Amino acid sequence: MSDVTTTPPAPVQPEPLHRQLGVTDGELDAIRAKLGRDPNHVELAVFSVMWSEHCSYKSSKPLLKTLPTRGHGMMAGVGDNAGVLRIGDGLAVAFKIESHNHPSAVEPYQGAATGVGGILRDIFTMGARPIAVLDALRFGDPTDPRTRHLVDGIVRGVGGYGNCVGVPTVGGELVFDPSYQGNPLVNVMAIGLLEERMLILAEAPGPGNYVVLFGSTTGRDGIGGASVLASATFQDQDPSKRPAVQVGDPFAEKLLIEASLELIERRLVLGIQDLGAGGISCATSESADKAGTGILLDLDAIPRREPGMAAWEVMISESQERMLATCLPENFPAVREVCERWGIPIALVGRVTTDGDIAIIEGGIGPDGLPNPEAKEIARIPARALTSEAIVHYRLATPPARRRQAPAPGVPLTAHDGLPERGMNPASVLAALLGSPNLSSRRWVYEQYDACVQSNTVEWPGHGAAVLRVKGTKKALVATTDGNQTVSALDPYLGAQLSVAEATRNVSITGARPLGLTNCLNYGNPERPEAFWQLQEAVRGMGDACRTLDIPVTGGNVSLYNEYPGGAIAPTPEIGIVGLLDDVSLLVRPPFTTAGDSVILVGESTPGLAGSAYAELAGLASEDSPPSLDLDREAALQTFIREAIGRGLVASAQDVSGGGLAVAIAECAMWSGLGAHLRLGISGSPAIELFGESPSRLVLSCRPRHAPAIELLARQFGLPAVTLGTVGGDRLRIELTGQGATGAAEERGSRVADAVDVSLADLRHAWDHGLARAL
Amino acid sequence: MRIGVVTFPGSNSDVDALNALAVAGVEPVSLWHESPDLHGVAGVILPGGFAYGDYLRAGVIARFSPVMRGVSEFAAKGGYVLGICNGFQVLAESRLVPGALLRNRSLRFASKIVTIKPQRLDSPFTNKATGAPLHMPIAHGEGCYYADDATLDELERNGQVLWRYVGEDGAAALDQDDPANPNGSLRGIAGVCNAAGNVAGLMPHPERMSESILGSDDGMQLIRSFVESARVWETAR
């Protein structure tokens, strides 16, 4: 308001409480209907976190129901803290991915650290010992100082937590895309290993049983983390939101892991749930609802970090490193002994009841399990109203007015590649791609993460999927995360399919069979029909891909409202896959292994450069379509490579993805120190053949005597396979032959080389220093 | 024979030490930090991790723990003690080995496979090593070995420098800024022993490179040296 105006300022209307807490007027009416009365302040606070997008999945739930969630050997899945799948030998693997985007944008170190802590708790809450972490990170422009600050803080945070807690960080992603400028993504996947008999669920069974809280004390940190931070669009990098970011204590988490696993192993607890988003409100209501019970909770019994906390603050605090468990009364002394031995505060905070309500009192519970006579009930909410019967919103989905889709499978290659026209030398393009921020070595990042604690790491970070041996068996677990945001921005259905295809392919090329899929869906404001359409299309694409590739969705996480004043993020379906290799001695890796081996390309390229790293480099982003995906062919390719590896025919295998075939081959060569001399037949466009990212392709090497068997096997799967040449030397030489190459050379006026011919040292130099140069 | 591995509440590489000892064919015994009783083991490993969280400084609190009383007495009797990573930090804080471990010169946690070379092959901690450079991982934020010049000179004179970081050619990375020196350790020192020669600490993790499936079993040369020395000591008693 300017100084000259004479109009008196309008009286300030205080925002009603429910709106301050992020509850809409319509939702308030729904709360009244559930309770049959007006909620009080405490109840409203509890509803506000439990009905937040983050806790309730109120926008995404109707979509997620369409996903295939059943699979062979599944012991726990969607609706549990983590998916659990049998791997034989009486063992099972637990895994899940989760986002911590907004907290990391506000306070990068703590946001990322507590992201690791939260997902680890989801794993050991199932009775599994966490054995690995993978972190998928996405940032804006690498040259922006703000980005550098975020990258540094988030990488330190992931490492600071994982290193201390003793879980190796074995893989992940680092992606730069301008759309993440104001809203970085921190998606963390954790994997755990358990004996089948250790499996335990997050439930509170048996009325009369004790409800105990152990771990850190409860403070004011993280108040409203779920509702304020995770479930609203970002206005800015707002420091006032900082109190909503939790503070992590990895040492406390380490103690919590050991104590929890001991309690579970000794069967001292009947159900166990971690306190994450929504704090004790979420842990009590979910545990009660799952068991069909209620919980009487004595607020006075909850150990506090600071005095003067209001009841509602205690109920929704997101203080980290806390667990809620149910035990038989006679086992409580033993439970207490375990916690005290690990130096963990523990309190008896409630009883399991029959009435299905979360009843919150102050004043203590008597020996009879009932509130003391002088106790006061301050809130009562049916548990299921907070969880299984929480509000659902059926959002509007509208495709954008103009969008591009991939051409139907089978459309012939086109020649509009832009490579010769722009006078680029393919070798320079290759070096530029290898040195680009998104394809260069991630060594600077992963060298800050302990990658080998626990002595299971077979494949260190940097060369594709992570491989962890399973002690006491011949088996290994293979894990990866992949998300394709560039194609998703053009076609969210295809982008999600491609993400699933690439993640599963990265597992299959080691010889492992993908067991299950966890997903982290990072999208914009669901109240915006275009953003919700992107989410809807992604779920449809993911579901279709999973059905064709026969992989169950075992759980995941939805992160919405990833927007900021500058715009929304590119829709990002982050896919985590865990696979099983029955015999780790059969493991195949991407680098070439032996000079003289044959190099074979399996699969064929399809047109379309949009969304590729080459298109970004060449500035072609708006001129083309993304390549199409034939899921049946993808399934055939993955079955083929597993079969070929199982028969011992394959020396190395690498999938063709970011940067295309040339980058894939260059990686096999650089990482092994072995060059190659290859001839690539070009039928259409050199740019598409060399740098196109059409899926369902891989490059493998094998002893020359195995090449015919591999080509025959590929034909049996209906896959084209062509021998490109031979491994050896210290240069990578790819001659381009055939019509496309000569045609293009004529157009170029024949001055541009029609071959890639470059020393490994030069490629290695570009690849090694790309990230440091970008940052 | 039984070899003890101390578990502080924040130890996390104790599982690696227990695993490596099992691979070496001895019976590993877990020793809890709250008791000075070492249960009659023939040797003690202080493993990697973050003993008590290490928020203040690595190993600084562990020094006062009951188990370290037991370890100090054990060492005073001539028993063999090997501190790895955090265990080395604890030994240094406890003054059982000379020097201190400062923050890495990069000021970042460093996790990678490095190359080290035993500086003598007649010590109890290296006598089963071939003398060739050994590949093993480091994973630490405070691994920059420091001591004053006089102490360093004395360590060299007494043969207390047991391991140095080396390049692929085997040349010692004496300079703090040598790319093969991963944390800026003075004179490229990766591990030392006490004057009596029965207590040693090193930053790299031999116990995590104990099986070829993990990339290499180079670490077993050092684990076996330690185990066999402990066996000889126990038999002699």
Segment A635-660, tens digit of pLDDT: 999 999 999 999 999 999 999 999 99
Q: B-contacting residues of A 132-171, CB under 8 Å?
A: 156, 159-160, 163-166
Average of pLDDT values for A36-50?
A: 93
Residues of chain B with pLDDT under 50: none
Instruction: Look at residue A742 and tell me whether its pLDDT is greater than 50.
Output: no
Cβ(A734)–Cβ(A691) below 8 Å: no
What is the arithmetic mean of pLDDT over A490-505? 96
Label residue A609 by pLDDT band (50, 70, 90): confident
Q: How far is CA A56 from the centre of its chain?
A: 19
The mean pLDDT of A744-757, rounded to a whole number, is 55
- What's the token pair of residue A554? 């075992």
Tokens 């909620």: give the residue. A39
Token reading at A364:
């203590």
Angle B226-B232-B237 (CA atoms, 0-180°, nearest 5)?
125
List beta partners, residue A360.
Answer: A297, A379
What is the Cα–Cα distance from B141 to A207, expressed in whole angstroms? 49
SS3 of residue B45 by DSSP: strand
Please give the residue that has the higher pLDDT: either A752 or A303.
A303
Between positions 337 and 356 of A, the ones with CB within 8 A of B are 342-343
Residue A101 predicted with pLDDT over 80: yes
Q: What are phi and psi of A445, to 5 degrees?
A: -75, -55
The mean per-residue pLDDT over the stretch A507-536 comes to 96
For residue A25, count other CB atoms closer than 10 A to its CB: 9
Range A96-117 average pLDDT: 93
Chain A positions touching B19 (Cβ under 8 A) are 455, 471
Question: pLDDT value at position A72?
Answer: 87
pLDDT in tens, A345-387: 999 999 999 999 999 999 999 999 999 999 999 999 999 999 9
DSSP A197: G
Task: Give me the half-sphere count of Cα atoms (radius 13 Å) on the Cβ side of residue A764.
Answer: 14
pLDDT at A3 over 70: no
Interchain CB distance below 8 Å, B208 and A163: no
Average pLDDT over residues A309-335: 93
pLDDT value of residue B62: 87
A458 close to B (CB below 8 A): yes
**Selection from A13-22, A300-309, B216-225 with the highest mean pLDDT:** B216-225
The answer to whether A245 touches A111, Cβ cutoff 8 Å, is: yes
- State residue A620's pLDDT score: 64
The CA distance from A769 to A24, in Å, is 50
pLDDT of residue A5: 47
The model scores a pTM over 0.90:
yes
A interface mutation test: which of B35, B57, B213, B220 has the most A CBs within 10 A?
B213
Confidence of residue A607 (pLDDT cuts 50, 70, 90): confident
Task: Measure the CA–CA gap between A285 and A270, rounded to whole angstroms.
Answer: 16
Other residues' Cβ atoms within 10 Å of the Cβ of residue A11: 5
Instruction: Respond yes or no: is residue B193 known to be catalytic.
Output: no
DSSP A591-616: S--STT-EEEEES---S--TTSHHHH
According to the model, what pLDDT value does residue A744 have? 46
Report the gap between the CA of A177 and the closest CA in chain B (Å): 26
**Contact in structure between A770 and A440 (CB atoms under 8 Å):** yes
Residue A743: which pLDDT band, with cuts at 50, 70 and 90?
Answer: very low
Contacts of B18 (CB under 8 A, 6+ apart): B5, B28, B30
Which region among A115-124, A524-533, A734-743 has the lowest average model confidence (pLDDT)? Answer: A734-743
Q: How much is the ipTM here?
A: 0.95
Mutation for B interface: A262, A444, A455, most B CBs within 10 A: A455
- In this prediction, residue A608 carries a pLDDT of 85
Q: Evaluate whether A452 touches B137 at the Cβ level (below 8 Å).
A: yes
Half-sphere exposure of B53 (CA within 13 A, CB side): 12
Dump pLDDT digits (tens) for A437-476: 999 999 999 999 999 999 999 999 999 999 999 999 999 9
Q: Which of B12, B15, B45 to mutate against chain A (most A CBs within 10 Å)?
A: B12
Q: What does DSSP assign to residue A639?
A: H
CB-based contact, A772 to chain B, within 8 Å: no
Per-residue pLDDT band at A738 (split at 50, 70, 90): confident
Burial category of B158 from C-beta neighbours within 10 Å (exposed 0-12, middle 13-18, buried 19 and up): middle
> Catalytic: which of B33, B85, B142, B193?
B85
* pLDDT at residue A25 in the model: 92
Confidence of residue A185 (pLDDT cuts 50, 70, 90): very high
**Is pLDDT of A4 > 90?**
no
How close B80 comes to chain A (CA, Å)?
A: 24
**Cβ contact A106:A148 at 8 Å:** no
- Amino acid of residue A341: R
Q: In this complex, which of B13, B52, B213 lies closest to A584 when CB atoms are compared?
A: B213
- Facing residues of A627 across strands? none
Helix, coil or strand: residue B215: coil
Catalytic residue among A18, A41, A54, A677: A54
For chains A and B, CB pairs below 8 A equal 91
**C-beta atoms of B214 and A455 within 8 A:** yes
Confidence of residue A511 (pLDDT cuts 50, 70, 90): very high
Q: Can you list the positions of beta strands (E) in A43-128?
A: 74-76, 83-88, 91-99
Q: Please tell me whether residue A442 adopts helix, strand or coil conformation.
A: coil
Per mean pLDDT, which range of A162-166, A239-243, A760-764, B80-84 is the poorest? A239-243
Nearest beta carbon to residue B214 from set A258, A449, A458: A458
- Our answer to whether residue B205 is catalytic in this structure is yes
Query: Residue B46's pLDDT is what?
Result: 97
Query: Residue A405's pLDDT band (boundaries 50, 70, 90)?
Result: low
Cα–Cα distance measured from residue B71 to residue A697, given in angstroms and rounded to the nearest whole number:
58
Question: Both tokens of residue A93?
Answer: 């693997």
Tell me what the pLDDT averaged over chain A comes to.
Answer: 90
- Of A441, A444, A439, A443, the C-alpha closest to A429 is A439
Q: Is the Cβ–Cβ distance between B117 and B133 less than 8 Å?
A: yes
For residue A745, pLDDT over 60 is answered with: no
Q: Which of B33, B144, B193, B207 is catalytic?
A: B207
Average pLDDT of A416-438?
75
Mean per-residue pLDDT, A684-711? 93
Residue B120: CB atoms within 10 A of its CB come to 16
Exposure class string for A730-757: b at 16+ Cβ within 10 A, else e: ebbbbbbeeebbebbbeebeeebebbbe
Task: Give tens-digit pLDDT for A192-234.
Answer: 999 999 999 999 999 999 999 999 999 887 676 656 555 666 5
The pLDDT assigned to B205 comes to: 98
Q: Which residues of B touch A166 (CB under 8 A)?
A: 12-13, 49
CB contact under 8 A, A164 and B10: yes
A258 and chain B in contact, CB less than 8 A: yes
- Closest-CA residue of chain B to A254: B10
pLDDT of A404 reads 58
Q: What is the pLDDT of residue A153?
A: 96
Band of the pLDDT at A243, cuts 50, 70, 90?
low
Cβ pair A252, A113 in contact under 8 A: no
Distance from C-alpha of A589 to C-alpha of A728, rounded to nearest angstrom: 17
- Give the residue, A52 or A405, on which the prediction is more confident: A52
CA distances from residue A533 to A38, A60, A248, A499, A527 in whole angstroms, order as listed = 35, 11, 35, 18, 10
Token duo for residue B99? 């020097």
pLDDT of residue A748 exceeding 60: no
DSSP string, A522-589: E---TTSHHHHHHHHHHHHHHHHHHHHHT--EEEEEEE---EETTEEPPPEEEEEEEEEES-GGG--B
Q: What is the model's pLDDT at position A752? A: 40
Question: Catalytic site residue A54?
Answer: yes
pLDDT on residue A739 = 59
Classify the phi-psi angles of A270: left when phi > 0, otherwise alpha if psi is within -120 to 50, otherwise beta.
Answer: alpha
> Residue B84 burial (CB < 10 Å; 0-12/13-18/19+)?
buried
pLDDT of A582: 97
